[in-house]
Amino acid sequence: MDFFTTTLKNGIRFVHLPVNGMVAYCGLFVNAGSKNENASEHGLAHFTEHMLFKGTKTRKPFHILSRLEDVGGELNAYTTKEKTVVHASVLTEHFERALELIKDITFNPIFPEKEIEKEKEVIIEEINSYRDNPAELIFDEFEEIVFSNKPLGRNILGTPESVNSFKRDDIIYFVKRNYCSENIVICSVAAIQPDKALKTIEKIFGDIPHHSSTQQPASDINYNPSHIVRKKDTWQNHFIMGNIAFSLHDERRIGMILLNNILGGQGLNSRLYLSLREKNGYAYNVESVYNPYCETGIFSIYFGTDPANLEKGIEIAYHELKKISTVKLGPLQLKKAKNQIKGYMARGFENYENLMLSMGKSMLVFNRIDTLEDICRKIDAITSEDLLDIANEVFVPDKISTLIYK
């Protein structure tokens, strides 16, 4: 794949991939998420993302929502702990239309007071809906426990109290601090040649003034294992266990991705799926998750089960961790594990919207794009001994934290 990358004079980075297809995918990535909030701003990154859609100097909210919908396109956005993304998908002929709209809502929002008060109610309902789903809530609380008293540990949505406290000036201050040209990547995947795509980008975003980031450096993570039980009015018991893991910049990250997939990734033949669900019938939902962040990472195993099976399920989870930490994968097992993860990644590259989002994140974090061939070479270089070393660093019982909803 021939990725085209450049940096505009104002510091905004641009990456483009020409492909065949009728649909163009484009996005604006800001290197700012919930971890960039001050303690009094809990939930403000996500709230700001919502408010981008509530009016600009030239458009009312309805005109923003209709601009791409009228031509069969889609405008969307999301916030994570480390980034905010505004993205669109449209017919290729409306590529410029989509980018102009993204530019307008990102750099010309007016944050009307009336809309701010209305959106507070919407987000509080989102928080309440989330609290009604223990299978999702437990992941956020687990990160709060692991990253105790650190910005990375705070959930993205905030609390009803914090959301209700937001003022227009708070949003403006957050945007001024974080929506800087040097913190922004524009990414596109479309049937458009790079020179033409660049002309469009320069036309739309070239007048944005250069602005350096004023973000504070990340704080150190001082992790201490915890074991917590919460009383919840639920039919199932929900269990999560895990430890800190490798950051996005750690070369062992690829091996950790491979290990996580073997244990409880998306495949129906993962070890935890087979042992907890298929063999014993103890769980319906079971998975392991590895989330790498810029300064650290977190690994976790989750399952929901009948209270009568909780202890047996926990015992199986620990057994699988011990097994993968002590028994080296044979050549055939290692080859199958590598082929599986390479297949998943290849499928992701064929989904152009997912590819665009992945490219933007990579440029934001690493300032480069790895091809599928590059990634596969890194996977192929991993040995069984590498995986054992990684497992014995992350899956140490004394370093594991647990959280139970009973």
**What pLDDT does 220 receive?**
75
**What pLDDT does 211 receive?**
83
Domain presence at residue 85: yes
Q: Which domain holds residue 134?
A: 4-205
Domain presence at residue 19: yes
The neighbouring-strand residues paired with 17 are: 189
Whether residues 143 and 180 fall in one domain: yes
Whether residues 197 and 332 fall in one domain: no
Domain presence at residue 244: yes
Q: pLDDT for 273-299, tens place per residue?
A: 999 999 999 999 999 999 999 999 999
Whether residues 334 and 276 fall in one domain: yes
Whether residues 110 and 193 fall in one domain: yes
**What pLDDT does 212 receive?**
79
Domain with residue 348: its CATH number is: 3.30.830.10
Q: End-to-end alpha-carbon separation of the chain, Å? A: 49
CA distance 31 to 157: 18
Residue count (the chain): 406
What is the three-state SS of 97-155?
A: HHHHHHHHHHHCECCCHHHHHHHHHHHHHHHHHHHCCHHHHHHHHHHHHHCCCCHHHCC
Domain presence at residue 385: yes
Domain presence at residue 153: yes
**What pLDDT does 2 receive?**
87
Nearest to 227 by CA among 145, 308, 301, 309: 145
Helix, coil or strand: residue 299: strand
- Domain total in the chain: 2
CA distance 391 to 397: 11
**What pLDDT does 262 receive?**
97
Whether residues 375 and 250 fall in one domain: yes
Whether residues 169 and 240 fall in one domain: no
CB 285 within 8 A of CB 135: yes
Whether residues 292 and 377 fall in one domain: yes
Q: pLDDT for 51-80, tens place per residue?
A: 999 999 999 999 999 999 999 999 999 999
**What pLDDT does 395 receive?**
98
Domain presence at residue 213: no
The neighbouring-strand residues paired with 336 are: none
CA distance 341 to 344: 5
What is the three-state SS of 240-272?
A: EEEEEECCCCCCCHHHHHHHHHHHHCCCCCCHH
Domain presence at residue 341: yes
Whether residues 155 and 271 fall in one domain: no
Whether residues 145 and 259 fall in one domain: no
Whether residues 198 and 236 fall in one domain: no
**Upper half-sphere CA count for residue 71 (Cβ side, 13 Å):** 18
Whether residues 22 and 155 fall in one domain: yes
- What single-letter amino acid sits at 43? G
Dihedrals phi, psi of 386, to nearest 5 degrees: -60, -45
pLDDT tens digit at each of 406 positions of the chain:
789 999 999 999 999 999 999 999 999 999 999 999 999 999 999 999 999 999 999 999 999 999 999 999 999 999 999 999 999 999 999 999 999 999 999 999 999 999 999 999 999 999 999 999 999 999 999 999 999 988 999 999 999 999 999 999 999 999 999 999 999 999 999 999 999 999 999 999 999 999 877 776 666 788 999 999 999 989 999 999 999 999 999 999 999 999 999 999 988 999 999 999 999 999 999 999 999 999 999 999 999 999 999 999 999 999 999 999 999 999 999 999 999 999 999 999 999 999 999 999 999 999 999 999 999 999 999 999 999 999 999 999 999 999 999 9
CA distance 81 to 153: 9
Domain presence at residue 266: yes
CB 293 within 8 A of CB 245: no
